Amino acid sequence: MTTSRSTYHHGELRQAVLAAALDVIATDGPGALSLRDLARRAGVSHAAPAHHFKDRTGLLTAIAAQGYALLAADLAGTARLRERGVRYVRFAVEHPAHFQVMFQPELLRADDPDLLAAKERASAELRAGVADLRDVPDARTAGIAAWSLAHGFATLLLTHNVDGALGDRDPEEYFRSLTGLLFSQQLTTEGE
Amino acid sequence: MTTSRSTYHHGELRQAVLAAALDVIATDGPGALSLRDLARRAGVSHAAPAHHFKDRTGLLTAIAAQGYALLAADLAGTARLRERGVRYVRFAVEHPAHFQVMFQPELLRADDPDLLAAKERASAELRAGVADLRDVPDARTAGIAAWSLAHGFATLLLTHNVDGALGDRDPEEYFRSLTGLLFSQQLTTEGE
DNA sequence: CGTGCAATCTTGTCACTGGCAAGATGTGGA
DNA sequence: TCCACATCTTGCCAGTGACAAGATTGCACG
């Protein structure tokens, strides 16, 4: 960041803008994003970022694509379904800006090739995780159930809706105990 | 909507702006919201909405508060946990704009009294739903699990991430079968 | 060793937005 | 009647995204 800057070209503007954007989004959400502000932070003119991302939507689409790529890589690290869920939650905690943007389609260019490719890779990893299940008649629905659980917990986590229940415990560990509760069918004793 | 309008006062501006805002948000997300656009739709001057909502954040906070009130009322309609989950999903489908805004804290005035009160009512209904469970050692964690499942499915639904798996089936019905899968412990036969 | 070309960045501009201040208009109560 | 208040209007300013046109730089190719 504190490199040359005496030259006309920035050299790493794309990365600089991306990093600054992630900072802003993680703190104040995508709505607080301003291309001109990002340009100021990078020490370039107000129109410089446009050359790398076309427009605001382009920047957010690039972030989402990067997010899906990161998520796919994270998920690929293990074969066990529950551990994949833990990694899904960890991804949301470690990359909150990516996570937010990935799941707000209105912010993105839906037909962007990079985005589609990265999303497909992450989706494939998600599906592969269900292969870990045995003797499940409807594996696809089971996969949606697992995804819903992890995604819901991650979302509630980032929106500070489980701060109280969490206390000072580690989110990942809490999610493990949470899945343990489900998988040990203690929830099956529903009343009525 | 097509009432008088010959008078200086609009009369129902607050409701008109709220309704228009919900339309815009449901279609293009909260980011597409423009107070001036809402004013134009209502046929009033650009500064008129500010008197009812103070500013953009005020409008979104009012929407979130209304959303929590609606959700609390919906959840109160049944005692069974699974049915409450179904209603949670139904709420998200029928009030997508409310749902989106409710879970984006950066858009809201966190200390707004109306918002806090409505959120507390919804939260109480959520907790009450867990009372339906029997013989569960950690009811609080079980509640978070149930909430995560419903919230995750609702979110994935609204972000078009389960369109393929859903086909032409009813979302609520699909969610029922999804919980059935979990509660019948068929997911417990995890490999490894 | 140039030289032309493409990528990168700058400057200038426009329409639009949110928010504020000051004034106009209508409403209801003392 | 008349005054206090809520509601709406007009006018304004700074900030923003997008676009166009031009300046600067690095690089491939002769």
Domain assignments of chain A as residue spans, ordered by start? 1-53, 56-188
Average pLDDT over residues A123-141: 88
Contacts of B117 (CB under 8 A, 6+ apart): B65
For residue range B86-107, list pLDDT tens digits in order: 999 999 999 999 999 999 999 9
pLDDT score, position B8? 57
Question: For C8, which residue's CA is nearest its C1'?
Answer: A9
A98-107, A174-183, B41-50: which range is least confident on average? A174-183
Find the CB nearest A190 among B81, B165, B174.
Answer: B81
Determine, for residues B80 and A190 on separate chains, whether the beta-carbon distance falls below 8 Å: yes
pLDDT score, position B9? 63
Say if residue B185's pLDDT is above 60.
no
Q: Does B35 contact strand C, using a CB cutoff of 7 Å?
A: yes
pLDDT score, position B147? 97
pLDDT score, position A9? 65
Nucleotides of strand C lying closer than 7 angstroms to a protein CB:
8-13, 16-22, 25-27
Say if residue A10's pLDDT is above 90.
no
For residue range B162-184, list pLDDT tens digits in order: 999 999 999 999 999 999 888 75
Residues A76/A125, Cβ–Cβ less than 8 Å: yes
Average pLDDT over residues A19-41: 98
pLDDT score, position A136? 77
Determine, for residues A159 and B104 on separate chains, whether the beta-carbon distance falls below 8 Å: yes
| Residue of A187, A189, A192 to mutate when probing chain B, most B C-beta within 10 A | A187
Q: Distance (Å) from CA A28 to C1' D13?
A: 25
Q: Distance (Å) from CA B39 to C1' D29?
A: 60
Find the CB nearest A156 among B151, B153, B178.
Answer: B151
For residue range A58-80, list pLDDT tens digits in order: 999 999 999 999 999 999 999 99
Maximum mean pLDDT: which of A188-192, B11-15, B110-114: B110-114
Amino acid sitting at position B114: D
| Residue of B148, B155, B159, B175 to mutate when probing chain A, most A C-beta within 10 A | B148
pLDDT score, position A62? 98
Burial A63-93 (b: 16+ CB within 10 A, else e): bbbbbbbbbbebbbeeeebbbbbbbbbbbbe
Q: Distance (Å) from CA B97 to C1' C18?
A: 21
pLDDT score, position B138? 86
Say if residue A11's pLDDT is above 80.
no
Tell which CATH architecture fits domain B55-188: Orthogonal Bundle (1.10)
Output A99 or B133, whichever has higher pLDDT: A99
For residue range B58-77, list pLDDT tens digits in order: 999 999 999 999 999 999 99
Q: Does A8 contact strand D, using a CB cutoff of 7 Å?
A: yes
Rounded to an integer, what distance in angstroms lies between the CA atom of residue B153 and that of residue A99? 16
- CATH class of the region A1-53: mainly alpha
Whole-number Cα distances in Å, B31 to A12, B97, B105: 29, 12, 14
| Residue of A55, A60, A61, A148 to mutate when probing chain B, most B C-beta within 10 A | A148
Domain A56-188 grouped into CATH 3.30.70.20: no
Task: Count other C-beta atoms under 10 Å from residue A13's C-beta.
Answer: 18
For residue range B132-158, list pLDDT tens digits in order: 887 777 889 999 999 999 999 999 999
Question: For C16, which residue's CA is nearest its C1'?
Answer: B36
Rounded to an integer, what distance in angstroms lies between the CA atom of residue A70 and that of residue A75? 9
Average pLDDT over residues A111-120: 98
Average pLDDT, chain A: 91
Whole-number Cα distances in Å, B169 to A127, A128, B16, B163, B174: 20, 24, 34, 10, 7
Query: By percentage, how much of chain A surpasses pLDDT 90?
Result: 82
For residue range A160-171, list pLDDT tens digits in order: 999 999 999 999
Say if residue A24's pLDDT is above 60.
yes
pLDDT score, position B120? 98
Count CB pairs under 8 A between chains A and B: 177
Q: Does B51 contact strand C, using a CB cutoff of 7 Å?
A: no
For residue range B7-53, list pLDDT tens digits in order: 656 779 999 999 999 999 999 999 999 999 999 999 999 999 999 99
Rounded to an integer, what distance in angstroms lies between the CA atom of residue B160 and that of residue B7? 44
Question: For C20, which residue's CA is nearest its C1'?
Answer: B47
Q: Distance (Å) from CA B34 to C1' C16?
A: 10
Determine, for residues A132 and B191 on separate chains, whether the beta-carbon distance falls below 8 Å: yes
The 3-class secondary structure across A61-112, one letter per residue, is HHHHHHHHHHHHHHHCCCCCHHHHHHHHHHHHHHCHHHHHHHCCHHHCCCCC
Rounded to an integer, what distance in angstroms lies between the CA atom of residue B109 and that of residue B103? 12
